[in-house]
Structure 1
Amino acid sequence: MQDIKMQLDHSKSAVLLERSKKVLAGGVSSEFRKFNHPHALFYDHAEGVYTYDVDGNKYLDFTLSQGPMIVGHSHPHVLKRVQEYSEKGQLFAGQHILEIELAEKLNKYIPSADLMRFCLDGSTAIQTALRVARAKTGRNKFIRFEGHYHGWLDNVSWGLTLDEEKMGTRENPNSLPWTSGIANNIEQEFIVLPWNDLELVAKIMNENYKDIAAIITEPIMCNSGCILPEEGFLKGLREICTKYNSALIFDEVITGFRTGLGGAQKYFNITPDLSVFAKALASGYPISAIVGKKEWMQLIAEGKVIHAGTMNSACALIAAALGTIEVLEEDGTHKRIFALGHRLMNGLRKVAKETGQNLLVQGLGPMFHSGFANVDSIKDFRGIIAYEQPKSKMFIQGMQQRGVRIIGRGLWYISAVHEEEHIDFAIAMAKETLLELK
Structure 2
Amino acid sequence: MTRNLDVSRDLYATAQRFIAGGVSSDARRTAGVPLYVDRAAGARIWDVDGNVYLDYVLGQGPALLGHCPAPVAEAVAAQVARGIVYSAQHAAEVRVAERVCAMVPSAERVRFNTVGSEAVHAALRLARGYTERSKILKFEGHYHGWLDPVLYSVHPAVDLAGPAAAPVAVPGTAGQQHGHSDDLIICPWNDLEALTRLMDRHAGQIAAVITEPVLCNTGAIEPDPGYLRAVRELCDRHGTLLIFDEIITGFRLAPGGAQEYLGITPDLSIFGKAMAGGMPVSALAGKAAVMDHISAGKVAHAGTFNSQPVGIAAAEATLRILDEQREEVYGTLFARGEALMDGLRAAADKAGVPMLVAGPGPVFQTYFTDARAVRDYRDFAATDRAMMTRLHAALLERGVNMVPRGLWFMSTEHTEADIAATVDAFTDALGTL
8 Å CA contact retained: 2:136, 2:207? yes
2: distance between equivalents of 1:18 and 1:399? Answer: 24
Superposed CA RMSD in Å reads: 1.1
Query: What is residue 232 of structure 1 aligned with on the other side?
Result: 226
Query: What is residue 21 of structure 2 aligned with on the other side?
Result: 26
Q: Deviations over 1:390-410 (max 9, x none)?
A: 211111111110000000111
What is the Cα deviation at residue 371 of structure 1? 1.8
Look up the equivalent residue of 2:114 and give its one-letter code.
L
Of the candidates 385, 390, 405, which is equivalent to residue 409 of structure 1? 405
Of the candidates 348, 360, 365, which is equivalent to residue 356 of structure 2? 360
Q: Deviations over 1:313-346 (max 9, x none)?
A: 1111000011111222324111110010000001
Look up the equivalent residue of 2:182 and give its one-letter code.
Q
Query: What is residue 4 of structure 2 aligned with on the other side?
Result: 9
Query: What is residue 136 of structure 2 aligned with on the other side?
Result: 142
Query: What is residue 334 of structure 1 aligned with on the other side?
Result: 330
Query: What is residue 124 of structure 1 aligned with on the other side?
Result: 118
8 Å CA contact retained: 1:121, 1:287? yes
Instruction: Say yes or no: does 1:420 pair with 2:416.
Output: yes
When structure 1 is superposed on structure 2, of 291-300 and 428-437 the one drifting more is 428-437
Q: Deviations over 1:14-54 (max 9, x none)?
A: 1101111221111111112122x632121111111111111
Query: What is residue 3 of structure 1 aligned with on the other side?
Result: none
8 Å CA contact retained: 1:375, 1:386? no
Of the candidates 40, 45, 48, which is equivalent to residue 42 of structure 2? 48
Q: Deviations over 1:91-143 (max 9, x none)?
A: 22211000011011101110010001000011000010001110111100110
What is the Cα deviation at residue 387 of structure 1? 1.1
Query: What is residue 348 of structure 1 aligned with on the other side?
Result: 344
8 Å CA contact retained: 1:359, 1:371? yes
8 Å CA contact retained: 1:396, 1:408? yes
What is the Cα deviation at residue 254 of structure 1? 0.3
- Look up the SS of the partner of 1:400 in the other structure: helix
Name structure 2 gaps, 5 residues minimum: none
8 Å CA contact retained: 1:14, 1:41? no
2: distance between equivalents of 1:42 and 1:348? Answer: 27
Instruction: Say yes or no: does 1:266 pair with 2:264.
Output: no
What is the Cα deviation at residue 173 of structure 1? 1.6
Q: Deviations over 1:409-431 (max 9, x none)?
A: 11000001111111111111111
Look up the equivalent residue of 1:253 and give its one-letter code.
I
Query: What is residue 306 of structure 2 aligned with on the other side?
Result: 312
1: distance between equivalents of 2:77 and 2:10? Answer: 34
Of the candidates 277, 287, 290, which is equivalent to residue 283 of structure 1? 277
Query: What is residue 93 of structure 1 aligned with on the other side?
Result: 87
1: distance between equivalents of 2:106 and 2:420? Answer: 38
| TM-score where L is the length of structure 1 | 0.97
8 Å CA contact retained: 1:118, 1:289? yes
Query: What is residue 211 of structure 1 aligned with on the other side?
Result: 205
Instruction: Say yes or no: does 1:253 pair with 2:250.
Output: no
- Look up the SS of the partner of 1:22 in the other structure: helix
Instruction: Say yes or no: does 1:433 pair with 2:429.
Output: yes
- Look up the SS of the partner of 2:102 in the other structure: helix
8 Å CA contact retained: 1:161, 1:177? no
8 Å CA contact retained: 1:71, 1:327? no
Look up the equivalent residue of 1:166 and give its one-letter code.
L
What is the Cα deviation at residue 86 of structure 1? 2.2
2: distance between equivalents of 1:113 and 1:14? Answer: 46
- Look up the SS of the partner of 1:87 in the other structure: helix
Query: What is residue 319 of structure 2 aligned with on the other side?
Result: 325
8 Å CA contact retained: 2:123, 2:284? yes
Query: What is residue 70 of structure 2 aligned with on the other side?
Result: 76
Instruction: Say yes or no: does 1:395 pair with 2:377.
Output: no
- Look up the SS of the partner of 1:165 in the other structure: helix
Look up the equivalent residue of 1:82 and give its one-letter code.
V
Instruction: Say yes or no: does 1:297 pair with 2:302.
Output: no
Query: What is residue 160 of structure 2 aligned with on the other side?
Result: 166
- Look up the SS of the partner of 1:84 in the other structure: helix
- Look up the SS of the partner of 1:378 in the other structure: coil
Name structure 1 gaps, 5 residues minimum: 1-5
8 Å CA contact retained: 2:169, 2:184? no
- Look up the SS of the partner of 1:65 in the other structure: coil
Percentage of pairs with the same residue:
41
8 Å CA contact retained: 1:251, 1:276? yes
Instruction: Say yes or no: does 1:199 pair with 2:193.
Output: yes
Call closer, same or farther: CA 1:212–1:428 in 2, change over 3 Å. Answer: same
1: distance between equivalents of 2:42 and 2:320? Answer: 17
2: distance between equivalents of 1:240 and 1:290? Answer: 23
How many correspondences in the alignment? 431
8 Å CA contact retained: 2:38, 2:46? yes
What is the Cα deviation at residue 304 of structure 1? 0.6
Q: Deviations over 1:133-186 (max 9, x none)?
A: 101111001100011010000011101233222111123321111110000111
